[in-house]
Amino acid sequence: MNKSVSVTQLDILRSHMSFTLPLGYDNRRTDELMQTLKKNGYTYFQLGESSRDKRVYGEGITVEGKELEQYFLPHLGHKLFPAAITENGFHRFTTTIVERFEYNVGNTSLPFIIQSVDIVLAPFGIAFLTIRVQLDNVEAELSDVLGFLHHFRTVEPKLTEEKGMVISSPNNGNHLTVHNLLFERLFPFLKKFMLQNEKLNGYFGSLPYYEDERMYASAFLFSREGSLITEDQLYRMGALDGRLPNGEKFISANNPDYIRRSLDQSLHDRWAPNMYTVITEHAFITVTNSPPEDMSRQLSQFMGTHYYNFLLHYFYKIMLLRVSFEYSEIVWKKDDEYVKSLIKFITLFSSWYYFQEISTRSEGKEISRMFQRVFNIDDLFNDVSKTLQELYKSQENNASDRMNMLLFFLTIFTVISGIYGMNLVIQDWESPSGWKAISSYTVFEWISLVTALSGIGLSVYLVFTTFGKVLKNKLREKKSNSRL
């Protein structure tokens, strides 16, 4: 008998969403970027002031600094929540928007509010843009909510199923794409700080090692109280399966056993049957059938502790992909100093920021392990560890080759000098006009001349190359100097 999956309906009464976009920025201009953020109305986030603006997360939603502080292990908390803007770590800037828009695709229209945005300046020139969105007090079927998540996260639509969405502004009637909304409406001042890879076109030239051109989607969904939450619904949340272009509900699997195996890897059901969390490489979604007044703490955790848990592991994934990319770009015959800088880069990242255990809470540890699994962080880190070993081996081989070559030349000069009794002086050299007799030199005098000149030339070469390397390293270090 053939088994198939039926797509069931789930009404969503309230939706809190966020979309996170990573990009690379010029970290030599970090201070200038911070000043630009302040001029554009962004405030620097600190634990003691986490609940100052009640509109950041939405009406009635607060995130307490004490809970954020106690959720993470102390050595990591100092990196995620630095006490001052001058310290190393993650620097978050937030501004409130509260602006209404309308989402249109096919026959579906949903009004939504952009509540607030974050710009998190992470270490090593990585920045995260987070846009908090909620549907504007409308009830929607799960397929439409997932369709919204699927389309809104696509910065550069290329596939047929990604195209067709239009965002309109009720204030002026303008129609926007997601790209225009981000880089012309919300963050126009960021363009001059973004990096652009010369080999690639489009937005993601700033991160040429990243997978695709989509934001990571997060959502906290309130269904009708007491609603049955089924496996097909949870699978569709993780895969962001909304509707087909013809409007039919869509699910990207037809095998119940496959769906069950997939959920075994992506579902956190500690609070079932009232609350479920699905974590995949595309989305982090919590759904509940309890009333909002009973879920205020869980919603606060989603906006606060779970947000930082996700952000940290997303940073891990991007950094590990970056190391693999930069390793592949090495030109081994020319990039000796680049290899050294990459070794330093990997060492700093792994010692300062990469930790297997990040949370003091049991649920935090469970969520953390799920992010590690879906982002494939352990395998990526093992690859980076192998890369580091290869780099060290390469450095040792290069150093050995240089030493052997230097010993070779020194040995030649030592042997020849020994043959000549450490005296390579020819009497003709003592006279200013003695060089005119060069045409009458004997074989041994020619050997003496060539040895003396090459020895002087080698000494000059070694002096200039040594000072050149020192100067080049200083310039490279100054150029790559950043707030780690």
Instruction: Note the pLDDT of residue 290.
Output: 96
User: According to the model, what pLDDT value does residue 397 have?
Assistant: 65
Beta bridge partners of 278: 267, 285
Give the DSSP H or E segment for 143. Answer: helix 142-152
Task: Tell me how far apart the alpha carbons of residues 439 and 37 are, in angstroms, rounded to a whole number.
Answer: 74
Candidates 289, 104, 302; CA nearest to 219 is: 302
Q: Which residue has the higher pLDDT, 160 or 249?
A: 249
| Confidence bin at 430 (pLDDT 50/70/90) | low
| Distances, alpha carbon 187 to alpha carbons 87, 193, 401, in Å | 25, 11, 51
The confidence score (pLDDT) of residue 395 equals 66
- Which DSSP symbol is given to 367? H
Q: What is the pTM of this model?
A: 0.83
At 352 the pLDDT is 86
Question: Backbone phi, then psi, for 270, in 5-degree steps?
Answer: -60, -35
d(CA 441, CA 449): 9
Query: DSSP character for 154?
Result: B
Measured in degrees and rounded to the nearest 5, phi and psi for residue 210 equal: -85, 160
When mean pLDDT is compared across 26-40, 58-72, 381-395, 400-414, the lowest value belongs to 400-414
Question: SS3 for 101?
Answer: strand
Secondary structure (3-state) at 227: coil
SS3 397: helix
d(CA 25, CA 436): 63
Compute CA distances 358 → 22, 65, 366, 397, whole Å. Answer: 21, 17, 11, 37
Q: Which of 259, 261, 271 is nearest to 234 (CA)?
A: 259
Q: Is 429 exposed, middle or buried (0-12, 13-18, 19+ CB in 10 A)?
A: middle
Instruction: Give Dmax (Cα) for the chain.
Output: 109
Residue type, 96: T
Residue 97 has pLDDT above 80, yes or no: yes
What mean pLDDT is reported for the chain? 83
Say if residue 16's pLDDT is above 80.
Answer: yes
**Structure confidence by residue, pLDDT tens digits, 112-153:** 999 999 999 999 999 999 999 999 888 999 999 999 999 999
Q: Contact, 393 vs 294, CB < 8 A?
A: no
Strand stretches in 87-212, DSSP E: 91-105, 108-122, 126-135, 140-141, 166-168, 175-176
| Assigned token pair, 416 | 């020849």
Q: Across 213-304, where does the E strand assignment appear?
A: 216-223, 267-268, 275-279, 283-288
pLDDT in tens, 44-59: 998 876 555 678 898 8
Question: What is the four-CA torsion angle of 345, 347, 352, 353, rounded to 10 degrees?
Answer: 70
Q: Determine how many CB atoms are found less than 10 A away from the CB of residue 186.
A: 18
DSSP strands (E only) in 229-352: 267-268, 275-279, 283-288
**How many Å apart are CA 130 and CA 120, to the nearest integer?**
8
Question: Which three-class secondary structure string do you get for 37-76?
Answer: HHHCCCEECCHHHCCCCCCCCCCCCCCCHHHHHHHECHHH
Share above pLDDT 90 across residues of the chain, in percent, rounded to a whole number = 45
Looking at the predicted structure, is the pLDDT value of residue 429 above 60? no
What percent helix, strand, coil does the chain show, rounded to 5?
50, 20, 30
DSSP string, 164-197: --EEE-TTT--EE-HHHIIIIII-GGGGGGB---
The residues facing 219 across adjacent strands are 17, 285
Residue 303 pLDDT grade (very low, low, confident, very high; cuts 50, 70, 90): very high
Report residue 119: phi and psi, to 5°: -125, 115
